[in-house]
Structure 1
């Protein structure tokens, strides 16, 4: 199906042709008609499937074809979990705004609050934002959502993981009216809190699921390498990068310090590498991502900060230098490559500290059954054996556990509890002894005394 066959406004069709978008992806073909019908939508699909356009096009269509509920309130609010994803969504939105005559603004944490207040005062039709900062503007009354027509949540599960539950409730309550439509998109919807939020945010939603997070990505070739320790990982990475033709690669690490250390290591090898982590301010993060997108850096070393939403077509390889803590993040990491029909490669280095994470990922998504090896760099680590449970038994509260051998060999002595039962230590004051009776004192006086 072609995107132009979905009954969109001609201004949107011209923009689609101009931008080179032609055939609708599976999520676009199923989600766009539902969204255009006015129904709430709960949609999921793998990364790189085109879900951003699946909600932008219906939102633009609504603004072009229907009358606004309010002249001052924004008509569409799009929430994203990270600044990087929000920025990328807004960049794609801007491609359609100028030919449509609609206005939009980007509201991110870490940027000038007063400038954002001025932008909101210009009554934009679209607001793309992170939940924390939009909640701040609601509290300061720089923004009202009484006339909001469409609320879109991209990567809703990630927003909950990042602790935005309270801000999402505030935004929902500020725009809680019967004429609001809500679209919830994500790569995964298997989340402990997701059910609760779908029930409160959505009204009888239509569900659209294209594949699932657990399905392996057919366009990505996955490989696994065992490593003994950090130095072994470094040697394996150097060998791999030396033997592999890499257009651009994203290398994921566990901590911020690791990103800097690894980027410095690659730079000393003469490679164009840069580190990205949450400790950088927003302008620095924007600059690094823009430079990487333009091809100025061949390697981007990052934490899970960049695991979602970033659409950079030249990323040919993803390397998990450290395995992710959460299994679903593995799907998002490797989803940075193999996008829009392109082929990609994902390599994971697994050491003793990564083993439990590897097992969790293995239970979550299909992984290769065998580990690859490099000649001359085969390590000793072959995995961790599961811990043995000794004398594992299920006991009820009334069941007494069996005595140990040491306890069985010695006879048990009954404890003398007379003191503890007679006196509450710390509560009862110590009293002097009772004085002797007068008769006893007289007898004492009659006793002979030494001269």
Structure 2
């Protein structure tokens, strides 16, 4: 579908044309008409499918074409699981409101609370934020949602996985009125908690699922390498970063400590890199993402905090230094490359500790994976054999556990009563007197 065919205001179409948009993606073509019609929506699509625009355009259309319920309350609230994703959504929103009189603000944890209060006092039409900080303002009476018209939950499955269920319920209760419309986007509609939550928040929603949750980008080349230990993992990593033709690289690790350690090692090797994780202040996180998005740094070492939503067009390689524990995160991680139709390269390094998680990923993507090798790096590790239960092993000498137990069970002897209160002692023979025979008296 062409962008011009969307049922939205001409001013929005002009903004999109100015930004270079000419055709819709599948999720945009199916979700925007439903949302513009005022219906609740439960939708899923793969990462990098243009989902953000699929909810921003209906939100803009509603604010531009309908009368507000109240003068002061925000009309649209957009919630995301991470600060980085919230900033990404907000940056796209600002492009759309730039040629209008509409106001928007960003409310994130880790940033100055009083500055946010001042922005909320200006009665913005749009508020983009993270659940925790939004609820902080609600509890203090600094933000009211009684007149909220549109609630948008982006990456709802991730918000629930991160433990934001109570905050989302608090937002729902604050804005629970019959005129509110809700759009819920999730990476998968097979998430049990998402479906339970949707049943509570949404009213007769239209369900849209674009592609399977394990569907991958055809533009992304996936490669897998085995490693014996941490040292061999690092050798492979240095080869990819230093000797392959890369633009920008995102390296995903399992822990926050590993991001700092790997970043320091890369810097010692002369490869400038930054470490991003949740322990950093919001100011530091903003500075890191700004430097990386502007191309000032080539390598970003991060946890899954950067696995979703970030639209960085110059990322040519994604490297899984550790395989994610949650299999769906693999798809989101590799989706940080191959954006907007460009080719991308996703590399995964699998050591003995990664094997179980790797097998889950292999099952999740539903494909048989082969391993590549780098000349000069020859790992001995070939994978771990699955543990076979003892009772399942073949062989005529192996018997069922129950039968073995029965065979090994010792025979019980009948107990002998050795008491004598009812039996006679051995050798006891009672004497019997002969009957007396009476004879006649001889007197």
Q: TM-score, normalised by structure 2?
A: 0.88
Residue in 2 that maps onto 1:235: 235
State the 1:183 CA deviation.
0.5
Offset of residue 407 of structure 1: 6.7
Instruction: Give the length in aligned residue pairs.
Output: 408
Q: Distance in 2 between matches of 1:165 and 1:197?
A: 8
Matched residue of 1:132: which SS?
helix
Preserved contact between residue 222 and residue 367 of structure 1 (Cα < 8 Å): no
Checking the alignment, whether the CA contact within 8 Å between 1:223 and 1:368 is kept in structure 2 is no
CA RMSD of aligned residues (A): 2.0
Map 1:123-138 onto structure 2 (within 5 A): 123-138=123-138
Match of 1:318 in 2: 318
The equivalences for 1:49-448 within 5 A come to 49-367=49-367, 369-391=369-391, 408=409
Are 2:12 and 1:45 equivalent residues in the alignment?
A: no
SS in 1 for 2:44: strand
In structure 2, list runs of 5 or more residues that go unmatched: 394-400, 416-443
| Paired residues of 1:216 and 1:366 also in contact (CA < 8 A) | no
Counterpart of 2:8? 8
What does the per-residue CA deviation read over 1:58-104, in whole Å, with 9 as the maximum and x for residues that have no partner? 10011000001111111000000000000111111011122121011
Tell me how far 1:10 sits from its aligned partner.
Answer: 1.9
Go from structure 1 to structure 2 and tell me whether the alpha carbon gap of 1:379 and 1:51 turns closer, same or farther (over 3 Å shift).
Answer: same
Q: Which is greater in Rg?
A: 2
CA distance in 2, matches of 1:276, 1:239: 22
- CA drift of 1:189 comes to 2.8
Contact 2:27 2:50 in 1 (8 A): yes
Residues 189 and 209, structure 2, Cα contact 8 Å, conserved in 1: no
Q: SS in structure 1 opposite 2:53?
A: helix
Summarize deviations over 1:272-323 as a string: whole Å, max 9, x none: 2111111110000000000000001111000101001111110111000000
Distance 1:238 1:308 in 2: 25
Q: Structure 1 stretches of 5 or more lacking a match?
A: 394-399, 415-451
Match of 2:440 in 1: none
Contact 2:242 2:271 in 1 (8 A): no
Q: Is the 8 A contact 1:12 1:100 kept in 2?
A: no
Query: What does residue 33 of structure 1 align with?
Result: 33
Cα shift at 1:413: 12
Q: CA deviation at 1:243?
A: 3.1
Which contiguous aligned blocks of 4+ residues in structure 1 show a shift greater than 3 angstroms? Answer: 400-414
Superposition deviation, residue 216 in structure 1: 2.5
The answer to which of 404-413 and 287-296 deviates more is 404-413
Separation (CA, whole Å) in 2 of partners of 1:402 and 1:256: 51
Q: TM-score, normalised by structure 1?
A: 0.87
Residue 250 of structure 1 aligns to a residue whose secondary structure is: strand
Report Cα offsets for 1:355-406 as digits up to 9, x if no partner: 110111111114552111112212111111111212379xxxxxx9677599
* Structure 1 residues 262 and 411: CA distance shift in structure 2, 3 A: farther
**Does the aligned pair in 2 maintain the 1:213–1:365 contact within 8 Å?**
no
Mark the CA change 1:371 to 1:174 in structure 2 (over 3 Å): closer, same or farther.
same
Structure 1 residue 118, shift from structure 2 partner? 2.1
Q: Could you say what secondary structure the match of 1:32 adopts?
A: helix
